[in-house]
Amino acid sequence: MRMLGSMPVRVLDDRHRDTVLAILDSDPVSNVFVSSRVRAAGLNPDRLGAQMWGYIRDGELTSLCYSGANLIPIAADSEAVRAFAERARNEGRRCSSIVGQADAVRELWDLLAPYWGRPRAIRAVQPVMATSRPSPVPPDPHVRRVRMDEFDIIYPACVSMFTEEVGISPNVGDGGALYRARVAELIRAGRAFARIENGRVMFKAEIGAATPYACQVQGVWVPPDLRGRGLSVSGMAALVDESLRTIAPVVSLYVNDFNARARAAYRRVGFTEIDTFMSVLF
């Protein structure tokens, strides 16, 4: 697609949708989050809840950067990263994290760090794992889609998972309004899965993003007193099997490199490492 204008970084809109999706679909697993957002909302910033920046080289759109609650460089070489960093620096930090393929995020953060201050945490190595086959281990037959009338049961587990993983409660700031809406949205979409016994969540996880090509697992959680019993392995096996059957042909996730127990559990379920992400959390 030919692009007009001489500015190397432009805010894109729905006129660029086909070209943007072609870039995203060149790596459909690693780009599943942004691709799912574009497919659902288009590129109008008000609908997307973010801006999509495009890097223009020789009149062609070659790289992207999703600028919303997350800052996510996509298909960005060093030249594009420098251009995105300049725009991000000029606009000031609006995101709560920088996340994406490790090389681009590392370079982007090196350029922004002198201006954006100390982050809350840096997760420098986060393996991206994926599978396209039913799990080789038996699935937990009690794991199923969560119903809306179970919201008050699942929500505290979601808050516990988020707080444990991110380091702050999702209820901080707006009292949890946005997070509650997001959990409800995933339940209504049939993308929240759990094993619930006597009103207690034993295992839970969600499909946070989905496209026709891939989906991404988030929020895997087992109560601390029940860990080490294999609930996450059989629970993930159930989620993988159902997701492959009804949601997308590839199931993916990313995990911190230091979480050896989780990585081992995912490998048992059939996941293999295909990429490396990095996250900078504010």
CA angle 274, 127, 163 (to 5 degrees): 140
Q: How is residue 173 annotated by DSSP?
A: T
Per-residue pLDDT tens digits for 130-188: 999 999 999 999 999 999 999 999 999 999 999 998 888 998 888 889 999 999 999 99
Confidence band of 224 (pLDDT split at 50, 70, 90): very high
Radius of gyration of the chain (CA): 19
Per-residue pLDDT tens digits for 89-122: 999 999 999 999 999 999 999 999 999 989 999 9
Per-residue pLDDT tens digits for 34-91: 999 999 999 999 999 999 999 999 989 999 999 999 999 999 999 999 999 999 999 9
First to last CA, the chain: 36
CA distance 179 to 49: 15
The separation between CA 18 and the C-alpha centre of its own chain, rounded to angstroms, equals 22
Say how many C-beta atoms besides its own lie within 10 A of residue 124's C-beta: 15
> With a threshold of 0.85, does the pTM exceed it?
yes
Which burial class, exposed, middle or buried, applies to 73 when counting CB atoms under 10 A from its CB (0-12, 13-18, 19+)? buried
Instruction: Kindly report the backbone phi and psi dihedral angles of residue 196, in degrees, each rounded to the nearest multiple of 5, phi listed first.
Output: -120, 125
Helices (H), the chain: 17-25, 32-41, 45-48, 78-91, 102-116, 151-166, 177-188, 231-246, 260-269
CA distance 202 to 52: 38
Residue 254 has, within 13 A of its CA and on its CB side, a CA count of 22
**Which pLDDT score is estimated for 3?**
38
Domains 9-117 and 131-276 are alike in CATH topology:
yes
Domain boundaries, the chain: 9-117, 131-276
Q: Give the domain 9-117 fold.
A: Aminopeptidase (3.40.630)
CA distance 250 to 240: 9
Q: How is residue 147 annotated by DSSP?
A: P
On whether the CB atoms of residues 88 and 67 are closer than 8 A, the answer is yes
Question: What dotted CATH number matches 131-276?
Answer: 3.40.630.30
